[in-house]
Structure 1
Amino acid sequence: MTGPPKSRRAEYAAATRTAIIEAARVLFARKGYFATKIEDIAVEARVAPATVYAVTGGKQGLIRTLVDLWSQAPIVAQTLSRQEALADPDEILRETAAVTRSMRETYGDIMRLMLTTAPHHEEVAESLRLATKRYRDALETVAARLRDVGGLREGTTLAEATDILWFYFGYSGYFTLLDDNGWTFEQSERWLVTQAAAALR
């Protein structure tokens, strides 16, 4: 059952917030966090600068919003829920690689922004720490599922398995293959699955 329809005012407020967030995302990716001014975001979103502050809390509020958009994306919970029914370790790893690829394709700009800005801004660094914890917690859940279905080498602890998954499916795996090596997403995904499987078993 759906709730009552939104008022026109509520619809306008939601559309304004979305426009501001998207404008900030585009400008942060293009110019960087520090070079982007609230006035730039306001122009891009077609609102007043005061509206950017009022709706999102300024640049730091926007960073937190973008981190939540990425690190709490519904696809993560949906995937972990699906994996509870999987019993084939290879299928679990393939799905993990596919979702990691999807996250890179959809939110790679936000990840790059956080990784390059965090060393120079403590509040951004704190947001990155939160996102990283969520990310690693998800991979720990994958590691636990692999352990439960016999997908880990004998003697491999849950912590070790999580670290191995982080090595292949954390921030650096796809970015190194894509950015430094010039591989395609498909090549990267296929290689990461093969290497992670060999390392875990």
Structure 2
Amino acid sequence: MTSSPTSRRAEYAEATRAAIVDAARRIFAEQGYFATTVEDIAKAARVAPATVYAVGGGKQGLIGTLVDLWSQAPIVAETRRRGAELTDPDEILRNAAATVRSMREEYGDIMRVALATAPHHTAVAEGLRVATGRYREAVLALAERLHEVGGLHPGRTVRQAADVLWFYFGYAGFFTLVDDNGWTFDQAEHWLVRQAAVTLRSAP
């Protein structure tokens, strides 16, 4: 059975969009947002510059798409579902840390571009604000779950625990250990889990 002209057009449109998004992601990571031009993206995606604007919304639309791709990744919801099933605090923390590590490996390039660009670009800053809100919401849910299963020091509030978790598993932890210090992801993940567990169970 052959596909209809309509379905073929839809497939072509989606393939074109994917090529543009992939090209933007690669070039933003290599050159930075401001040094990248729509013409650079069009050339890499093998489309006309007008198509980049029409399909991707230009540079601004594309970086917004990339930030959403990262901050709404399905693995986040799956991690929260899995965490709700676990009852051992150490397992819950390891489950979350594995996801943070996976997100760094999969979307770290997008995070770096957004973090570097946001201070100088209002729209990117707004996109990062929304993404960070989603991230912090997930961290707060993790703190609440650890509280429910007795994974916190009795004197530590959920809000304090969320702040501790953000310190270890927010943007800086993996980037500092892996990018700046040259640790492997394995080393960074295991160290962060150990340190977070000790801090969460210590008196505030």
TM over 0.5: yes
Amino acid at match of 1:7: S
Per the normalisation by structure 2, the TM-score is: 0.95
Per the normalisation by structure 1, the TM-score is: 0.96
Distance of 1:180 and 1:21 partners within structure 2: 28
RMSD: 1.1
Q: C-alpha deviations, 1:35-60, integer Å up to 9, x for none? A: 10001100000111111101111111
| 2:134 is equivalent to residue 144 of structure 1 | no
Q: Residue in 2 aligned with 1:184? A: 184
Q: C-alpha deviations, 1:152-191, integer Å up to 9, x for none? A: 1112111111111000000000000011111000000000
| 2:191 is equivalent to residue 196 of structure 1 | no
Q: Residue in 1 aligned with 2:161? A: 161
Amino acid at match of 1:73: A
Amino acid at match of 2:114: M
Distance of 1:118 and 1:56 partners within structure 2: 19
| 2:112 is equivalent to residue 131 of structure 1 | no
Q: C-alpha deviations, 1:100-126, integer Å up to 9, x for none? A: 000000000000001111111111111
| 2:127 is equivalent to residue 114 of structure 1 | no
Distance of 1:176 and 1:35 partners within structure 2: 25
Structure 2 alignment gaps of length 5 or more: 1-5
SS of match in other structure, 1:7: helix
Q: Residue in 2 aligned with 1:12? A: 12
Q: Residue in 2 aligned with 1:53? A: 53
Aligned residues: 197
Amino acid at match of 1:99: T
Distance of 1:180 and 1:51 partners within structure 2: 38
Amino acid at match of 1:35: A
| 2:79 is equivalent to residue 68 of structure 1 | no
Distance of 2:100 and 2:92 partners within structure 1: 12
Query: Cα distance, 1:16 vs. partner?
Result: 0.5
Distance of 2:147 and 2:13 partners within structure 1: 46
Matches within 5 A, 1:84-123: 84-123=84-123
Query: Cα distance, 1:90 vs. partner?
Result: 0.1
